[in-house]
Structure 1
């Protein structure tokens, strides 16, 4: 730090010793005025240095910075709590019980601190064991405190979001004071007005059995109004929550008795305004970025995307505009539903509108009929591009049905006091938005998006951006000072070019951290090079035999094995072939799909299991010790472009003269493989074996990209006859 040049004149004009009020901006000290008021940031000019130290001790509760200067030299005598720097905080962290010095963690923190200070975007690969959560939280807190700006931390899953908020943040608060809040989407909060309205108007018939009584009990007892809290206590159809969830379109604002008083959502929003750090999730950050005048997150300048390897998938999902025919039918039921002896819905208690009520019933029946006709011949969850035969006629009929309801509803709304039809108006706006999406399928000239439908909840209409570069840049990267993407797997062969291209970040600063784990000594990657290729019919048989050899190798100690597949078809085929043999060796054998993933993982953690899994188990699971000692990659995880958006992206690259395999498919497979292998070593004491059964890693020219991306590992090329002995030898060597 140094005294601003213009401030020296003020100092020299006075006779020391004297006290000055100062202002600290970055590394500059601005001298304001001579003062006798002992508070805030001060400079002790002239006199005895030890007198300044004694002064700091006496007034430590009311002063912030205290500097001492004799006119030539400058010394910092005291700092406020929020003036701690990154290195000082990490000294305290590393000296805590259960923590060890991690140089890479500190390097990551310094790198992020520099990004924030220079208003730069950054990409960081932080392997398992580097402690990336604390590494980004420390500079985020310091930046927020120094500049009175909010920093948002975004995670891919709510599990990590809760872990940060309930574990890492309370830990960090032991060393630096700051305010942190957790943010969920608005529909995660109960709307008090809706619950009261349903009860007072007798609309409980919209709910099945005891569902409404559960919601009413929750309304009376909850202090958070959170959806997750409700479903942890009650088991009802999740679609019923939508009848009572908080929503922008159905918010009564100042006409609601709870508005900005005891409204669950607005109480949270008020706390977010006062926070330094906001822990959010990708879904909320991305969806909030496109909203105007209805944002949940307050204004912020810096953003950290944790688990950033998922950002393309996340952004594709959240920037896709979708609706379903089941949603249309649900909204019509919300408006009016006629039973044999009863009627329910938002319009049920209004008299003199029989024509509107009958119209809603008629159009709902008609929509059900045309959907049933259109879906004949569709496979389960089949996804089809725009060109499907009959789609235009179907979309036109659907739009006409919705249009008739909208027009009649609009006439009804115009004649009513807005305070009594808040929810009806919300449904009207939702139906209008849905019709706009469907009509896009009738007149479409946007080359930057793909229109496609799928059999999911009736018929689902989707408008998806071809790539996510433009929306990410328009809504986030161009608006924020600094966006940091961090994950354990972002580089391919030590290059971030693929990720940069996906998100549209050409000028980002990049850093690859080194893992704190000793992969060379504590693990081995065995590549079996004499099996059939995955395209061959015999491959499934080869995989089954290899798994039998692994079971024999581990029979004595019953170490856990995670077997990762790329398709359920192959998973089931191999499982049926080897289940009896593996069980005969004393192992439990688990298969994804037989239990929910949470219960499956809990059973696996007990040890002595083979777990056959795909999709979600390639990432995000954390099993330490012998319960997971071997990870088997049955097949290199190349993406098969099955969905319309995937196929369109590949075709677009080909038309642009880009080799879609080398520039898109291969890098994605490398990152996916790194994620899968990352399930093995989860602590510095873990030891384990990774087995790849796909020979292409050595037999194909592109295999070198996989090898180069795993250069930190001890890779051994073996024959299938060596699987059992190689695994036994590795674990025997760890014992000796």
Structure 2
């Protein structure tokens, strides 16, 4: 099927709709015949569907109803199409649609269905390009640098043919051992797609493995690269002239950036201050400004840890170092990214999973991973750009691998640990820093905290965990049922096969029963003594648990708690032994498929139980007695709900009295870097949350952008007071305002909301008004999650998409130039005041005689407001408009503090609700005219 004589018919259809319901028709058929990597013939025709074509399809394809009037009907071209495709291999991008739809239409007009072998370029691309972010045709063509006009069948067919050529070329370069595995797993792919690998494996001559790869068991992986720490004498460039010479025309010296470099270099060298805060506005080049002096610290023998708020930013930081700073040095310091073990593939578990039958989806993932292993040095699963995948969760690295295991020298988690220990510079996230500060530091290490104001939330989030008593009971029951079931395949068969003895089975069951019984006894104690009867009202109830009461309860019932600890340890030991015997039986072929499936299901439940019980270890008396003051506990229960779960929550209220002890004390120097951290309303709050003293050394720098000419703020001054109207009325107002602005100004637009519920309601109203047919509108929680929507928004071809978002879209997303020109803040970003955590925080502030609104709510909202605005202007040639629909920014006294938080040079103008849309429209028209 795959050779120089094979003729590929690469087909693409445009249709009136995607459903095979008898109502939809083909409006364009295109086919490219390809042989030996060359296009040998083409067939393209419009098709008159003899029915109306929706405006949405016309806009998407560019094919108008008038274009189709003179085109032949499908009945008239079906014979030509049928003949043209004979003796070919049918290829399509998502073959399940095109092949089925075409056969459906052929049958409708009296022709037999095509019976051709078929290849799907979507699955093939997913396998041979495992690191690509998207496999949509337009995204693939862009990534592979192929010319393409999306949603036109002729262009789609041609670019699919070009993609197939590239895929087949890459398949031919894969090592034979990998091809053999792909050939075996490829039997689960759609149509005959897997035969590409079968034939490639047969055609591949016996070969010695290239030096870049190594065979581990029967898996080919990229050979690990040895890294050794380097040391190079280098002198920090003090003067501007020295900096220009040092930059070697690879960097341009910027005044503010140079000043920040010098301030940090001085701070690192002097001994009197351990902490410093630098407020560097967006566009000042702060990343390079701290990376350069940090690199000199690394070369001087001090380990440097760089922490930022998200994994995406950590990756960007590493890339900026490699592209801008490392090239300045003859031998640059090594920089390694540090992540939790859950991010790394366990080679051993993956290898074992290949021996077990899997569903088609998992087989496709396994094929993708086999090719990825030929490319990756890190084994970081994030490189695959996949959303939540239960299979990958079960393939994550663990600690059970022993030193003498054949996989140990190649294990990605072990390799990362070694790299981090040897590295001179480490980049990580705030969350990982909070959890592993001691391991990341070497005592004399330097810490740079970028996006410093986010460190507090990382500390709070890392310390907010939930112990669900009822979930543990339910999982224990499920495992007991699985173990004692007498269906056709059972644990009793495993005993007969000597995989475990009767005694081991009894010990496993006994340990599980102790957990099952005692967890309910513990739950009863918590319910009776820590959930007061006065709180027993209908609905969800959250009750704070004082540390002293928790200690007292554990001390009074210590024997009950300890029985669970002992049973948990015994259950874990016995299961590890059983897993070892299972893997051994699999390797020697002594385990039937049905028994393998039984054990796979069993260990999946065991893993869930172990995860649910991790937090139970926090109830060890010694740990409870060592609790820090900021940590709190609370119980939650839903009264009136059948089978309601009792949950014990562990949390942290702030960074005060926590970050110094848990993080900062492990480092010799700590520099905090951020944009817009301090205003009059936020400074005291930020210092308190970061666990810093008001007298610490600090430095601020002037704004880097010309905001007077690059942006303008449009503020509504007569919006409704939502505190005096129903929520539905305010949603109606937001929708009406957005509809008018979006119709008048067709620019790439981000709209920031306070909640997913508001987004859903506004999106529904915009759809009802017809906006979703006029503009591409992405809505968080409605049309996808934040990661998917951010990708779609960035990749939008026309740069006229609209994204309704909250949460992460206020921060950490980089949308330069045409990727974002209009930013709309639908409502000032105050947190929900009546959540349990906020209620406790406010109570603590009130007990200190302070105002919770001014001490917590307002500064948090202002910081978030600043972060939101920071999405708009990202470079010196970037520009755009900010619209604030919440009139409190004008009408309330505290509104001035929000306005002061915006850049001082930014022009702010007030408008009525009726006039603001026209003003925004004129701004873009005038600015466009000016830039032309």
Q: TM-score, normalised by structure 2?
A: 0.59
Q: In structure 2, what is the equivalent of residue 521 of structure 1?
A: 709
The 3-state SS of whatever aligns with 2:657 is: helix
| 2:456 and 2:689 in contact (8 A); partners too | yes
Paired residue for 1:481, among 647, 650, 668? 668
Q: In structure 1, what is the equivalent of residue 741 of structure 2?
A: 550
Paired residue for 1:142, among 290, 293, 296? 296
Superposed counterparts of 1:492-507, under 5 Å: 492-493=679-680, 496-506=683-693, 507=695
| Aligned-partner Cα distance in 1 for 2:476–2:740 | 56
| Aligned-partner Cα distance in 2 for 1:686–1:216 | 42
1:133 matched to 2:274? no
| Aligned-partner Cα distance in 2 for 1:541–1:504 | 42
| Aligned-partner Cα distance in 2 for 1:733–1:412 | 72
Superposed counterparts of 1:51-70, under 5 Å: none
Change beyond 3 A, Cα 1:243–1:328: farther
| 2:472 and 2:612 in contact (8 A); partners too | no
The CA deviation at 1:402 is 7.8
648-657 or 119-128, which moves further after superposition?
Answer: 119-128
| Aligned-partner Cα distance in 2 for 1:543–1:225 | 46
Q: In structure 2, what is the equivalent of residue 280 of structure 1?
A: 428
| Aligned-partner Cα distance in 2 for 1:512–1:152 | 22
The CA deviation at 1:127 is 2.1
Paired residue for 1:622, among 785, 792, 814? 814
| Aligned-partner Cα distance in 1 for 2:922–2:633 | 55
1:102 matched to 2:235? no
Change beyond 3 A, Cα 1:632–1:297: same
| 1:322 and 1:437 in contact (8 A); partners too | no
| Aligned-partner Cα distance in 2 for 1:651–1:303 | 34
The CA deviation at 1:139 is 0.8
Q: In structure 2, what is the equivalent of residue 728 of structure 1?
A: 921
| Aligned-partner Cα distance in 2 for 1:411–1:643 | 40
Superposed counterparts of 1:47-126, under 5 Å: 80-81=233-234, 84=237, 87=240, 90-91=243-244, 96=249, 100-119=252-271, 120-126=274-280
Change beyond 3 A, Cα 1:523–1:344: farther
1:384 matched to 2:542? yes
The 3-state SS of whatever aligns with 1:122 is: strand
Change beyond 3 A, Cα 1:187–1:609: closer
| Aligned-partner Cα distance in 2 for 1:82–1:562 | 45
Q: In structure 1, what is the equivalent of residue 151 of structure 2?
A: none
Question: What whole-Å deviation, never above 9, does each CA across 1:628-657 have from its counterpart, x for those lacking one?
Answer: 221111111111134432221111001111
| 1:219 and 1:225 in contact (8 A); partners too | no
Q: In structure 2, what is the equivalent of residue 46 of structure 1?
A: none
Question: What whole-Å deviation, never above 9, does each CA across 1:524-561 have from its counterpart, x for those lacking one?
Answer: 1111111112322343333223223312431xxx2122
| Aligned-partner Cα distance in 2 for 1:459–1:432 | 14
| Aligned-partner Cα distance in 1 for 2:492–2:406 | 24
Structure with the bigger RCO (C-alpha within 8 Å, sep 6+) is 1
Q: In structure 2, what is the equivalent of residue 175 of structure 1?
A: 328
Question: What whole-Å deviation, never above 9, does each CA across 1:394-446 have from its counterpart, x for those lacking one?
Answer: x99x9999855643566789999999999999999989864343577998997
The CA deviation at 1:333 is 8.3
Q: In structure 2, what is the equivalent of residue 571 of structure 1?
A: 759
| 2:504 and 2:574 in contact (8 A); partners too | no
| Aligned-partner Cα distance in 1 for 2:659–2:635 | 24
1:464 matched to 2:654? no
| Aligned-partner Cα distance in 1 for 2:380–2:514 | 32
Q: How many residues align?
A: 637
The 3-state SS of whatever aligns with 2:435 is: helix
Q: In structure 2, what is the equivalent of residue 663 of structure 1?
A: 855
The 3-state SS of whatever aligns with 1:690 is: strand
| Aligned-partner Cα distance in 2 for 1:281–1:430 | 23
| 2:397 and 2:413 in contact (8 A); partners too | no
| 1:112 and 1:136 in contact (8 A); partners too | yes
529-538 or 354-363, which moves further after superposition?
Answer: 354-363
Paired residue for 1:246, among 387, 394, 398? 398
| Aligned-partner Cα distance in 1 for 2:635–2:871 | 35
The CA deviation at 1:234 is 10
Q: In structure 2, what is the equivalent of residue 157 of structure 1?
A: 310
Q: In structure 1, what is the equivalent of residue 64 of structure 2?
A: none
1:699 matched to 2:891? yes
Q: In structure 1, what is the equivalent of residue 206 of structure 2?
A: none
The CA deviation at 1:288 is 0.6
| Aligned-partner Cα distance in 1 for 2:333–2:256 | 24
| Aligned-partner Cα distance in 1 for 2:876–2:800 | 21
| Aligned-partner Cα distance in 1 for 2:815–2:368 | 38
| Aligned-partner Cα distance in 1 for 2:382–2:664 | 34
Q: In structure 1, what is the equivalent of residue 908 of structure 2?
A: 715
Paired residue for 1:188, among 340, 343, 348? 343
| 1:180 and 1:275 in contact (8 A); partners too | yes
The 3-state SS of whatever aligns with 2:339 is: coil
| 1:324 and 1:458 in contact (8 A); partners too | yes
Q: In structure 1, what is the equivalent of residue 226 of structure 2?
A: none
| Aligned-partner Cα distance in 1 for 2:710–2:257 | 21
Alpha-carbon RMSD: 4.9
| 1:86 and 1:110 in contact (8 A); partners too | no
| Aligned-partner Cα distance in 2 for 1:421–1:409 | 19
The 3-state SS of whatever aligns with 2:824 is: strand
The 3-state SS of whatever aligns with 1:721 is: coil
